[in-house]
Amino acid sequence: MSNSTGTVPRFFRTVWLSDIHLGFRGCSAASLLAFLRSVECEFLYLVGDIIDIWSVRKRPFWPQDHNNVLRTILGKAKYGTKVIYVPGNHDEMLRDYDGMTFGNIRISDRIVHRKADGKRFLVIHGDQFDSVVRSSRAIALLGSHAYDVLLAVNTRLNLARRKVGLPYWSLAGAIKHKVKNAMRYISNFEAAVAFEAARLGVDGVICGHIHRAQIVSLNDITYCNCGDWVESNSALVEHEDGRLELLEWQDTHRIAFGEEEDRAFVPLLTNKDDAHHRDGAAGRPA
């Protein structure tokens, strides 16, 4: 895919990418390469599940395109882009290096990004909220002690599973297998993540994990999900004035399909909201 050849890269202040799943057969590495070559940015956030270490362990798979994606990212880091790697559950081993910097790439489990307009956004992968999402009753108890307990349980449970070689419990997988409940899972996830942002006193949150690109206002929190590079091939970007926008890469051109401006008019989980992205996360691979 060399569609960007000869074109001038488009500049964004910030680019967020999540759920790339390098090392997994379903990864759209060629499309991502074309996207990466077509943009320049001051900040590049890798919002988790970038290298699918679980998948590589299960079935070794690493074609040249996947290498090229890493090289392109390293190249950007070398030439001045501030690259921040926020680990997810498929690359959770990197969480052991929280706060460290490797080859100009900073690893941070969660980080607050300050936009050009001064608004502060929590950047986090999102798997941290899985147990909250799993327990539907917990959502009703948001704000209570149960929420904190579930967050702590989630971390310990998955650390224990990892020690005995069990794979991470996957929310995306659960959504895939419980199509009927998919919308409930998604809205619970979005509510849990937005609640965390409200608790921290930031203006919004940027996450991934459920493979469903989105910009929506939940109470006073701007919830953004970068989507993924398995099916939707989407990126969240910040323009120089601080405006956020979702881009969907289609190999021939970019399509903008969600903007911060219209978020106030998009209530959560209505048909109108649904029109903002391609059909649901239900059938997407984890």
Stretch that binds Mn ion, among 80-88, 157-165, 174-182, 240-248 (CB under 5 A): 80-88
Token digits of residue 143 = 């704000």
Q: Within 59-134, where are the H helices? A: 64-78, 130-134
Q: Helix 64-78 to helix 29-38 angle, to the nearest 10 degrees?
A: 20
Q: Which is nearer to Mn ion, 207 or 237 (CB)?
A: 207
Q: Which is nearer to Mn ion, 209 or 277 (CB)?
A: 209
Q: Which residues fall within 8 angstroms of residue 144, CB to CB, at 6 or more apart?
A: none
52 is a site residue for Mn ion (CB under 5 A)? no
Three-state DSSP state, 178? coil
Task: List the x/- string, 4-43, binding to Mn ion by CB under 5 A.
Answer: ----------------------------------------
Stretch that binds Mn ion, among 140-148, 179-187, 209-217, 249-257 (CB under 5 A): 209-217
Its sign, for the CA torsion 153, 91, 200, 184, is negative
49 is a site residue for Mn ion (CB under 5 A)? yes
Q: For residues 166 and 170, what is the distance between their CA atoms, to the nearest angstrom? A: 12
CB of 18 to Mn ion, least distance (A): 8
Q: Which listed residue (14, 55, 81, 89) binds Mn ion by CB under 5 A?
A: 89
Strand segments, DSSP code E, in the chain are: 10-17, 39-46, 82-85, 101-102, 105-107, 110-114, 120-124, 204-207, 214-218, 221-225, 234-238, 244-249, 254-259
209 is a site residue for Mn ion (CB under 5 A)? yes
88 is a site residue for Mn ion (CB under 5 A)? yes
Q: Which is nearer to Mn ion, 266 or 286 (CB)?
A: 286
CB of 22 to Mn ion, least distance (A): 13
| Interface residues toward Mn ion, by CB under 5 A | 49, 88-89, 209
